[in-house]
Amino acid sequence: MKERLQKLISGAGIASRRAAEELILAGRVRVNGETAALGMSADLETDTVLVDGVLLRAPEERMYIMLNKPRGYVTTLSDEKGRKTVAGLVQGAGRRLYPVGRLDLNSEGLLIMTDDGEAANALMHPAHEVEKVYVVTVQGRITSKQIAAMEALRAVGGKPISPADIKPLRPDGENSRLRFTIHEGRNRQVRRMCESVGLNVRRLVRVAEGELKLGELPAGKWRELDREELAYVKGLIAEKR
């Protein structure tokens, strides 16, 4: 069955649909020996599709995992500075998996990794407003005025953001703990929100993305998504189409 090229490329885990469109526009995709154009369709059973000269094959069964990223790992597959990467933590998966979104070097917690470009795009697509929940430990005691000021923020790093929902949690010794619920994934968004009211972040852990919950998964360990979690991801993909 013929499908749009960008869907085939995304389904093969090479790139998101948007990135696949850019590959086509750049002339890096060929169908049956001819340079492809945006809007073209193909059938991988009868057509020869090359991306950067590599044959595009029908996708195998995709893999979707949840990793509890520890502090001190970068969310990339390789690092020019020689730092530890999340790729090293999931080598046992037996295939090349890509992180969905990012957690900075000193942040921890839930990180979805997959070889399904469509799923990654659906989880990150702004239209779905997938809630991201973080438990944040800050130095000292926090005031209701500081919480209100952070909830009133509408931009971080010059980029617009939706209102955040921030709830105080039980203190941890001399530190305060907060539960942040946001919808964007701006670079260091939660840390910047805290910095805007003079708070020093001691620990930041992502505990949920939409219906995907970190639960009791140990730091540095990973597991495949269960049936209900996978159904949630597939539902997001269906909404996007």
Distance CA 234, CA 225 (A): 12
To which H or E segment does residue 126 belong? none
Q: Are strands 159-160 and 155-156 parallel, antiparallel or unpaired?
A: antiparallel
Instruction: Give 64-82 as a DSSP string.
Output: EEEEEEPTT-BSSS--TT-
Residues that are catalytic: 104
Distance CA 13, CA 114 (A): 8
Backbone angles phi, psi at 213, to 5 degrees: -115, 135
Distance CA 164, CA 180 (A): 7
Q: Please, are residues 168 and 176 in contact by the beta-carbon 8 Å criterion?
A: yes
